[in-house]
Each structure stands twice: as C-alpha cells, then as structure tokens.
Amino acid sequence: MFTNLLSLVIWTPIVAGLLVLTTGGDQRAPLARWLALAGSLAGFLVSLPLYTGFNDLNGGMQFEEMRPWIQALNINYHLGVDGISMLFIVLNSFTTLMVVLAGWEVIEKRVAQYMAAFLIMSGLINGSFASLDAMLFYVFFEAMLIPMYLIIGVWGGPRRVYASVKFFLYTLLGSLLMLVAFIYMYFHAGKTFEILAFHDMKIALSVQMLLFVAFFLSFAVKVPMWPVHTWLPDAHVEAPTGGSMVLAAITLKLGAYGFLRFALPILPDASRELAWVMVALSLVAVVYIGLVALVQSDMKKLVAYSSISHMGFVTLGMFMFLGTNMNQWAVEGALVQMVSHGFVSAAMFFCIGVMYDRLHSRNIADYGGVANKMPIFAAFMMLFGMANSGLPATSGFVGEFMVILGAVQVNFWYAALAATTLIFGAAYTLWMYKRVIFGDIGNSHVAEMKDVNKREFLVLAILAITVLGMGLYPQAFVSKMHLSVNDLIAHVAQSKL
C-alpha cells in the first residue's frame, strides 16, 4: 500500500528544509517558521504509517525499497526497517516537530537557516536508520554531522567554536574507521555493501576483533561511552535548546543502533569475546558519570552527564550475554531505554531552555524558588525529573527496570552496580530540582520570571503525555520489536567462525 514510504519519510523533511531556505533573510522569519512547522508536521505524519502499518508478526525488513545508485561499485539505494529501526524513525520525526516548536520565537537570527538545518538533519537521520546498504548508511551518517556542526557553531553559546570542532573531529575520526571496516567487508562479502549480506558472512575471530574495534571507535563516540564521552557535555552546553534536544534524543541513539545493526550481528564472536569490556565501560558510565553529574553546577552539563549515564544502560543491555545468547530482557530494555531517553532528555533540555530564555543562565546557583513564579512549569519539570530518576509509570522506569532485571540473570553484581542509578539518578536530578525550583524566590531576576506561554505549554504537555504513555503502556513499543529482537538474538547466537 505504501510503496515508497521510507523515501517519503526521508525526503519530505529535506525538501521542506530546502523550501524553508528559499525564504531567505530574517525579514521573512514568520513565513520560515510556519513553513518549517508544516514541513516537520508533514514529516511526522508520513512517518506514522510506519508504525500503524507495521506487521508485528514479521521480524525481518519491511517497507523495503531497492534502486541501483552507483552501479560500478554495486552501491544501492536500499531502504527497509525492522521493529527496531522503525521506532527510531518515528521518534526522530516526532522530535523534529518538538524542536521546531521549541525554537519558534526563541531563535531570532537566521531563522530560516536554523529551521532548515533541523529539517534536513531529520531527513538524514531517518536515512541512516532506514539504510540497508552500508555505503548509503555511511553517507547519511556523515552528512548528518554537517547540520549539527552548523547548529552548534552558528546558534551556539560563547564557546561554540571549541565545542563544535570538538564534536565534529571526535565523531568524524571514529567514523573514518567504520568506513575502513565497510570497505574490508565489501570485498570479503563479494563486492557488495548489503548490510544483510554482511550479516551472513563468515569472518575469522582475529579479523572480527579488528573490525569490532573499528566499529567500537565509531559508535562508542556517538553513544557516547566512557572514556570517549567528553565532547558531549561541551556540545550540549554550547548548543541551542533544539540542538541539545536532537543531540540527546536522536543522534546518541545512532551510536547504539550501530552496535545493534553492525557490530553484534556481523561480529557475534568478537562481540561475545569483548562483551566484558563493553559491560565494564557501561557500568563505569552508570556509576562514575552518575557521580560526576551530581557535582555539576551547570544545569545543561548536569543533564548531559545524566544522558551519558542513561546511555550506559543501553550499551549494558545490549552486551548482556548469557552464554552465547543475548538476554532478551536486557536487549529489549536497552531499546526501550533508547526510546524513553529520547522523550525524557528532550524534555529535560527543553525545560532548561525555557528557564534559560528567561534568565539567560544555566547556572544552578542563579536560580532558586522558580516554583513561586512558574508553578505550571515546576509541575511539568517535576514529572520529567521523576522520569529522569526512573520512577515507575514514567517511560524512564521501563528500560532501566528491564535492563537491571536482565542483568540479574547474568551476573548479580552487574545488576547491583547498574541499580545504583536508582540512588544517583534521583540524587542528581532532584538535588538540582530542589536548588532551582524549590525554596523562596532566590533573587530579583527569578522574581520577574513568567510562567510558560501557550507554545511552551504545548511542547511540555505533548512530551508529558508521551512520557506517561510509554510508562503506563510500554507494550505499545515493545510488541513491535519482539520478533526483530528474537531474530537478532538467534542470529547473534550462531558463531560465524
């Protein structure tokens, strides 16, 4: 029924972005905004049939499209989604809509370019999730860096140049090694970049190890995993609110997705051999980064570190091997955590953005008693803070809960270390909340703060509904991924030596 749905999902926002660019300078900013809203809404709407039309009983690729692209090298425009990637395309299209609303009148300079950058990036991200050709994936994956680089570099804070260059170099260096790995596999698989063909080829363990290291450097930077995470706090602090939202909600997920789509199924033996490293780094992320988040004085940095800590659950869940089998609780928990973190971190960054727009400070010490002036906002932020602390009935709980319960089955101490997030997560989130929101009015600037306007209310309300909805009925997400995850587990369980 939908023959070219994935293409539509990819190109709708890109075309919309180009259209927005044609509005030109800031004298026509209102037009750019409305056009961007229409484009992102269209992008979200065309992504919805992916969810509604998805066949739960099929674990393989759906909505496939196949066209030759560079025939000399056998590179194809091959698209398709399974129950894993489909969720992230919908999530991404949704986040883009939120970002356009979030930046509405906040961005005053180069509005068209700002909106266009997000729309184009949204299409490119959709492309990465939908690619079934490694070269196509690589192109989307790298192209996505450019708009993000610009978003931080043009609309960012005072240290935006340092942050954007750090972000760019960090992620580029990693992905160059991925390209090398792809080229090796291209020849090894008989001159094809088909990802599904990669999944089926035999590779010697020593080669698998090398390829794994290449993938690791590329994806671990994106996730980011300790110790290649230090670009993220800098990038977040300097990025505009919308940039932080997309960065946390989506681009980090691409790293984790890379492990799931490439490293694990192509290199199952190396993945098993090196799982302990991944687990160790993930647990460091949960505990060490959790403690680092506790002592941040900058709200955005705090949430950025909290993102790293939460992403630790994702990589932990993916590499929770019981014998040769990945643990289903843990893998699905990792995926749920990815989606949930998309909502929660976007919401947290948006909340900080709302306050920043009023006070122009991200410093916790500059606030205090915000609840007195912004009660509606305070209520929303309490909800998202609780979701960030993993409270049941919010989406934040489900993924962490599943990963911890999966980890108990593998090793009690993995679970025990991971479960410290119950304490640390609540500590850094609620301590920040206490200092910023509670208390008597902290200073004359806080006294002048006004509660959320209609646009902000809309964004907060939509995000609140998704966070609660996913917490109360995660089955809506999990049922889509069951068969794909089962296939993945069965696939990874087989040795490829």
Q: Which residues bind another protein (CB under 8 A)?
A: 166, 169-170, 227, 230-231, 288-289, 291-296, 328-329, 332, 369, 371-372, 382, 386, 391-393, 397-398, 401-402, 404-405, 407-409, 412-413, 415-416, 419-420, 422-424, 426-427, 430-431, 434, 437-440, 472-475, 478-479, 482
CB under 8 Å to 39, separation ≥6 — which residues? 12, 13, 15, 16, 17, 19, 20, 119
| Sign of the torsion formed by the C-alpha atoms of 364, 366, 368 and 372 | negative
Distance in Å, CB of 483 to another protein, minimum:
12
Q: How far is the CB of 279 from another protein (least distance, A)?
A: 16
Residue 169 or 201 with smaller CB distance to another protein = 169
The pair phi, psi for residue 298, each rounded to 5°, is -105, 125
User: Which 3 state secondary structure label does DSSP give 321?
Assistant: strand
Residue number with CB closer to another protein (84 or 407)? 407
Burial of 445 (0-12, 13-18, 19+ CB in 10 A): middle
CA-based nearest residue to 411, from 486, 314, 319, 338: 319
Query: Toward another protein, which CB reaches closer, 136 or 316?
Result: 316
Closer residue to another protein, CB minimum distance, 117 or 299: 299
Q: Which residues contact 419 (CB under 8 A, 6 or more apart)?
A: 404
DSSP-derived letter for residue 225 is P
Q: Which residues contact 348 (CB under 8 A, 6 or more apart)?
A: 248, 303, 306, 384, 385, 388
Pairwise CA distance, residues 366 & 356, whole Å: 11
d(CA 365, CA 352) in angstroms, rounded, equals 14
Return the closest-CA partner of residue 381 out of 348, 407, 408, 409.
348
Q: How far is the CB of 134 from another protein (least distance, A)?
A: 28
- Is 199 or 301 the residue whose CB approaches another protein more closely? 301
Nearer to another protein, 445 or 482 (CB): 482
DSSP structure class, residue 363? B
Distance between CA atoms of 70 and 61, rounded to whole angstroms?
22
Residue given tokens 């950025």 in the structure block:
304
Write down the least CB distance from residue 255 to another protein, Å.
Answer: 18
Shortest Cβ distance from residue 155 to another protein (Å)? 24
